Amino acid sequence: MEKMNLKELAERMGLELKTQNIPIEGEVKTGYASDLLSDVLANSIEGDLWVTRQTHLNIVAIAVMRDLAGILLVNGAQPDPDTLEKAVEKMVPIFRTPLPTFEVVGRLYQLGISGER
Amino acid sequence: MNIEELKKIREKMQKEIDLRSGEKAIKVVIGMGTCGIAAGARPVMAAIKDELSRKNAESVTVTQSGCAGFCEQEPLIDVFLPGEKKVTYGKVNPDKARRIVQEHILGGKVVNEFVFAQEK
Amino acid sequence: MLELSLHILDIVQNSLAAQASQVEIRIREDLGKDLLTLEVEDNGRGMSPELTRRVTDPFYTSRTTREVGLGLSLLKLAAERCGGRLEVRSQEGKGTKISATFGLDHFDRAPLGDMGETLAVLICGNPGVNFLYEHGVDGQTYRLATREMREILGPVSLDEPSVHDFIRQDVQQGLKKIKAASFPKIMEVLR
């Protein structure tokens, strides 16, 4: 499976980049989809791309705590202003798509992003 | 509560109200059942009130209703213009809501592409 | 729901459907006990013991009554998900009181969200109903009461757009002043 970084993935899938001026060339191999913060805390792994519709500041905290590759907001969800600010400060890339979770995860999977733990 | 701010509003509005003429003839009802709220009815209501306020529309009443039983079409809004049959718009979002205010509520022309149902 | 303020908007619809003329919404944050308490009390027509017992059963409410919908079962789930619980007390002819507790800093506790917008929608959409909102954080309280608003507004109706904006901003500023916790604190990492 070809290696893909976040930037390439975003371009392939037409994801909207919300955080500006922070590196997005990190490699991404796996993903996790959940809207329960406790669940992500318990079951995500380092380097996961996190797919969620939660938009509040704590998603950045979780991403930092778990060393996630970035956050993909679905259903057109917009990050709260302070979420965006903190994400840039902590260098957590946030993307956005109008697609719902199921569809977006299916497409990510087809591009080689695995959910395996 | 900021009492001073509220007093200012009274002063400002009192003059405007004295100049107003008739009744509020146009009615907009926004579905505020669980499905409606989950689908985004609150920002739709905010958008409608904001658009009406921007256009200084005086004759429109905006109220809420419960679940209509068409959850997949939420957010739903009903528009009642005097002398006309009820028009129900479905899958409304703030942008669509503003168009509905401009074109139908204030402009009198139904926005057909957003209509879910119309009373015959 | 993604926000507690949306749960509140939902629950209060039940009070309005029960013809309440008075709705009191109280939120208390107790930092020491890691507890957020939410109460919604109305003077509507109340519920029979049978309905009170089954009102959080989504299979019961979604089939037999549209007036009390899924809102309470969703709120129950939201509370239990973060170590809390839901209590429903009601008396026919008197009214209903909903009490929900949440772990204040539990990761899954839904953020408070835009209480200002919820209150503006409730108050301006139902100008004939009296609302009281009290939010306390360890001793400091923010309070908004339509009775007091009516006294000041005089002939100006609560459903005026400028009143909608006032409510939204007053609540936002008031809650900021008492440092209401919008969402659980995952503090260290965010410093």
* Residues of B within an 8 Å Cβ radius of C: 1-3, 5-7, 9-10, 12-14, 17, 30, 32-35, 37-38, 42-43, 45-46, 49-50, 52-53, 61-64, 66-67, 69
Sorting pLDDT into bands at 50, 70 and 90, what band is B22?
A: low
Q: How many cross-chain Cβ pairs, A to C, lie less than 8 Å apart?
A: 33
- Contact yes or no for B7 and C124 at CB 8 A: no
A105-109, B22-26, C92-96, C175-179: range with lowest mean pLDDT: B22-26
| Chain C residues touching residue B27 (CB < 8 angstroms) | none
Mutate to test the interface with C, among A56, A60, A90 (most CBs of C within 10 A): A56
The answer to whether the CB of C101 falls within 8 A of the CB of C85 is yes
CA–CA distance, B92 with B85 (Å, rounded to integer) = 19
pLDDT of C54: 87
CB of C65 closer than 8 Å to CB of B66: no
Q: Which of B61, B63, B76 is nearest to B31 (CA)?
A: B76
pLDDT (average), residues A45-66: 93
Structure confidence by residue, pLDDT tens digits, A23-46:
999 899 999 999 998 899 889 999
Does the CB of C152 have a partner CB in chain B at under 8 Å?
A: yes
Q: Is C66 on the interface with B (CB under 8 A)?
A: yes
* A58–C182 C-beta distance less than 8 A: no
Task: List the single range of B6-10, B46-50, C63-67 with lowest mean pLDDT.
Answer: C63-67
Judged by CB atoms closer than 8 Å, whether chains meet at B42 and C118 is answered as yes
**Chain A residues 58-97 with a CB less than 8 Å from chain C:** 58, 60-62, 64-65, 86, 90
Return the sign of the alpha-carbon dihedral for residues A105, A111, A113, A115: positive
B116 pLDDT tier (thresholds 50, 70, 90): very high
Q: Rounded to whole angstroms, how far apart are CA atoms B64 and B36? A: 11
Residue from the list B10, B45, B62 with its beta carbon closest to the beta carbon of C153: B10
Note the pLDDT of residue C191. Answer: 57
Helix (H, G, I), strand (E, B) or coil at B49: helix
Residue B59's pLDDT band (cuts 50, 70, 90): confident
CB contact under 8 A, C152 and B6: yes
pLDDT above 70 covers what percent of chain B? 98
- Sign of the four-CA dihedral A57, A60, A64, A66: positive
Question: Which chains reach chain A with 3 or more Cβ–Cβ distances below 8 angstroms?
Answer: C
Which pLDDT band holds residue A88 (cuts at 50, 70, 90)? very high
| Cβ–Cβ pairs < 8 A, chains B and C | 100
Let me know the angle formed at the C-alpha of C53 by C48 and C59, rounded to the nearest 5 degrees.
Answer: 110
ipTM (interface predicted TM): 0.90
* C8-38 per-position pLDDT tens digit: 999 999 999 999 999 999 999 998 999 999 9
- For residue C139, give Cα distances in angstroms to A11, C31, C191: 51, 11, 26
B55-59, B95-99, C69-73, C164-168: least confidently modelled range: B55-59
Distance from CA of A116 to the nearest CA of C (A): 24
The CA distance from A78 to A73, in Å, is: 7
Minimum Cα–Cα distance from C184: chain A residue? A58
Mutate to test the interface with A, among C102, C108, C114 (most CBs of A within 10 A): C108
User: Which subunits sit against C, judged by 3+ Cβ pairs under 8 A?
Assistant: A, B
Q: How far apart are CA C40 and CA C96, in angstroms?
A: 8
Of B14, B17, B33, the CB nearest to C13: B33
For chain B, list the contacting chains (3+ Cβ pairs, <8 Å): C
Kindly report the average pLDDT of chain B as a whole number: 90
- Does the pLDDT value for residue C100 go beyond 90? yes
pLDDT value, residue B17: 78
Q: How far apart are CA B99 and CA C83, in angstroms?
A: 44
Mean pLDDT throughout A89-97?
96
Of C81, C111, C189, the CB nearest to A56: C111
